[in-house]
Amino acid sequence: MLDIRELRKAGEEISARLALRGYTLDLAAFEALDAERKDADMRSQALQADRKKASKQVGDLIQSGMSVDAAKAQVAETLAQIDAEMDREVQRAQAIQEQLREFLMGVPNVPHEDVPPGRSEDDNVEVRRWGTPREFDFTPRDHVDLGEAMNGGIDFERAAKLSGARFAVMSGSIARLHRALIDFMLDVHTSQHGYTETYVPYLVGPDALRGTGQLPKFAEDLFRVEGERELYLIPTAEVPVTNLYADEILDAAELPQKRVCHTPCFRSEAGSHGRDTRGMIRQHQFEKVELVQLVRPEDSDAALEALTGHAEAILQALELPYRVVTLCGGDIGFSAAKTYDIEVWLPTQNTYREISSCSNFRDYQARRMQARWRNPDTGKPELVHTLNGSGLAVGRTLVALLENGQNADGSITVPAALRPYLRGAERLGG
C-alpha cells in the first residue's frame, strides 16, 4: 500500500510513475476523498469545541436569572444535540477512512527507478545468460512423453479422474526426483545462503492475503475453503512467511530475516484458459521452495541482487541453461517495485520459460501488514522492506531436468549435484 502522506505531497509524480505500468491513478478521486476526510475531522473538532463551551454555560444561565434545574436542562439538551451530531460526523469520518483504505488497497506499487518502460513481456530487458542450450543429435521429447514413458511416472489421466484438468500424479523415479529437488534446494539455501528453514500453515485468513497484496484485487485467483471461518489455500509460501511479522516491531539485530520454505501452492489460474494446457508448466497445485527476506530499507536493492543470485545458484548446480530478465513496467506484478524473472531453457519449446520471479516490494507489503523495525539511530519504529523469490518452482525444475537431460533411449542423466539425493543414481529410466 502506498504512503498516503507521499500521495498527498507528490501525487502527480507518483501518478506519472504508475503510468509506467499502464495504470491510471484517479488522483482527483483520491483528493476529493481526502478533502472530505479533512472536512469531517475539522467538523468533529469544531463540535468538540462547541461541546466544551456549552458545558460551561450552566453558571452563566443561572446568573442571568434562570433556575438551576432549568439551566441544567437547557445545557443537557444542547449537549445531547451536539453529541448526536458528533456521532454522525464520527460515522462519516469512519466511512470516508474506509473508502480511502479501499482506494489505496487497489493502487499497485510504484515501480523502482530501474524498471524499464514497456507494455508486455516482449519488452522485458535481458540482463544475462548462463550456460549454452544443448544441441541434440535426436529429436528431443517433451516432459509429458518422457514422464509417461517411465512406467507412467507422470500420469495426467488419473489426476484428471481425481481432480480434473491441470493436476498431475507422479510415481516411482519421477516422484523421487521431485522429492530430491526439494531436499536439494532446501539444503543449498540453508547451508550455503544463510536462510532459516521454515514450516507454515497451508491455509491462511484474508488478512494475510491482504498483507501481501493478493486481496482484494486477485480474489478470483485463489481457492477459498468452505468452513466455519474464512480461509484460503495459499497461492505461494510468500503469503504466510512474510506475514509472520505482521503487526510486529523487530529489533535492528533481528534484521535481515531470511526464510526458506517449501510448500504446495494452489492457484485457480483464472484467465489462463488455453495457455500451457499440456503438462506441468501451469497447474492448480504445484510445489515451490520460496525465499523471503525482510531487511532494512537501505539494504533492499542489494538484497534483491543477492536473492536472485541464490535462485540462480540452484540452476547452475543442476547445469540448466537460463537467462535473467528485468520486467518492464507493463509486466511487473501488482505489489512489486522491481522484479527479475529467471527463465530456464526448454528445448522442446525452443525458448526460455519462467522458473523464478525475484522481487523487491520495498515498504508496500510492510505498510499493509504493519511489519516494522526499530531504527537504533532514531529509536522509532519504521517499515521494513520485503523481498521474495522462488528458489525454485519445483515442478518446472523437474520439467527442465527431464527435457535438458534426456537421452535417445528415454533415460534422464542426473546432474552430479543431485545424485546424492537419488542414492547415487547417474541416470533415471531408459
Q: Which residues contact 7 (CB under 8 A, 6 or more apart)?
A: 14, 30, 104
Distances from the Cα of 277 to the Cα of 25, 148, 167, 268, angstroms: 35, 16, 10, 13
Of 397, 414, 396, the closest CA to residue 405 belongs to 414
Say if residue 269 carries a ligand binding annotation.
yes
- Note if 197 is an active site residue: no
- Note if 5 is an active site residue: no
Cis before 133 (ω within 30): no
Say if residue 12 carries a ligand binding annotation.
no
Pick the catalytic residue from 37, 312, 396, 403. Answer: 396
Say if residue 141 carries a ligand binding annotation.
no
Pick the catalytic residue from 173, 335, 357, 359. Answer: 357
Q: How far apart are CA 160 and CA 146, in angstroms?
A: 19
Pick the catalytic residue from 179, 282, 296, 419. Answer: 282
- Note if 267 is an active site residue: yes
Pick the catalytic residue from 21, 267, 367, 372. Answer: 267
Spacing of C-alpha 329 from chain mean position:
17
Pick the catalytic residue from 36, 121, 319, 354. Answer: 354
Say if residue 275 carries a ligand binding annotation.
no
Residue 122 DSSP symbol:
G
- Note if 128 is an active site residue: no
Strand partners, 224: 232
Say if residue 124 carries a ligand binding annotation.
no
Q: Which H or E run includes 125?
A: strand 125-130
Q: Longest C-alpha distance within the chain, in Å?
A: 112
Say if residue 171 carries a ligand binding annotation.
no
Q: How far apart are CA 429 and CA 406, in angstroms?
A: 10
Cis before 291 (ω within 30): no
Say if residue 44 carries a ligand binding annotation.
no
Residue 203, helix vs strand vs coil: strand
The x, y and z cell numbers of residue 319, run together, are 547445469
Say if residue 248 carries a ligand binding annotation.
no
Beta strand ranges found along 301-370 (DSSP E): 322-326, 338-346, 351-362
- Note if 362 is an active site residue: no
Say if residue 290 carries a ligand binding annotation.
yes
Say if residue 80 carries a ligand binding annotation.
no
Say if residue 16 carries a ligand binding annotation.
no
Contact 312, 291 (CB under 8 A): no
Of 237, 170, 283, 174, the closest CA to residue 388 belongs to 237
Annotated binding site: 236-238, 267-269, 290, 354-357, 388, 390
Annotated binding site for L-serine: 236-238, 267, 290, 388, 390
Annotated binding site for ATP: 267-269, 354-357
Active-site residues: which are they?
A: 267, 282, 354, 357, 396
